[in-house]
Amino acid sequence: MRKEISTRKGAPPQAIYSQAIVADGPQVYVSGQVSVDPVTEEARIGSFREQTELALKNISVLLEAAGTSWAHVVKVHAYLADFDNFPEFNEIYQQFVSRPYPARSTVQVGLFGEFAIEIDCIAVIPAPD
């Protein structure tokens, strides 16, 4: 269960996220994912778009392995090496998430090597049908 919390008393979202999310049930905590190819186990350093798409796909596989999906993600942390990539991140990110959007924090940080982005998340695992 995911329920969006929204109030006019709080600052409105400035991107693709909810002010807050209430979640119920077992959860999975996905560690930070970067653009490492799961087949070759090597970093795939390409454009910001390529790195972001691969990191998000790596998360998708882990969510599926845990019995959940992006539809049940309640919190996302995105770490950008260059905050100038924020608009492009939002464009790519919205292809993976849907309303109610997960709560999200996005910050600029120094990342290992040539990685441009790292993403982690928390998701609820839905009860079996």
What pLDDT shows up at residue 53? 98
What pLDDT shows up at residue 47? 97
Helices 86-93 + 48-65 axis angle, to 10: 40
Query: Which residue in 46, 56, 50 sits closest to 76, CA to CA?
Result: 56
Report the distance separating Cα 99 and Cα 93, nearest Å.
13
Segments in 13-118 forming alpha helices (H): 48-65, 86-93
What pLDDT shows up at residue 1? 75
3-31 mean pLDDT = 89
Note the pLDDT tens digit of each residue in 56-104.
999 999 999 999 999 999 999 999 999 999 999 999 999 999 999 999 9
What pLDDT shows up at residue 14? 84
User: Residue 26: is its pLDDT beyond 90?
Assistant: yes
Domains in the chain: ranges and CATH? 18-124 (3.30.1330.40)
C-alpha separations of 14 from 6, 17, 90, 119 in Å: 13, 8, 11, 19
What pLDDT shows up at residue 3? 86
Report yes or no: 38 and 54 within 8 Å, Cβ to Cβ.
no
What pLDDT shows up at residue 16? 85
Place of tokens 């260059």: 82
Report yes or no: 92 and 78 within 8 Å, Cβ to Cβ.
no
Average pLDDT over all residues of the chain: 94
Residue 44 CB contacts under 8 Å (≥ 6 apart), including other chains: 35, 36, 37, 50, 51, 54
15-28 mean pLDDT = 89
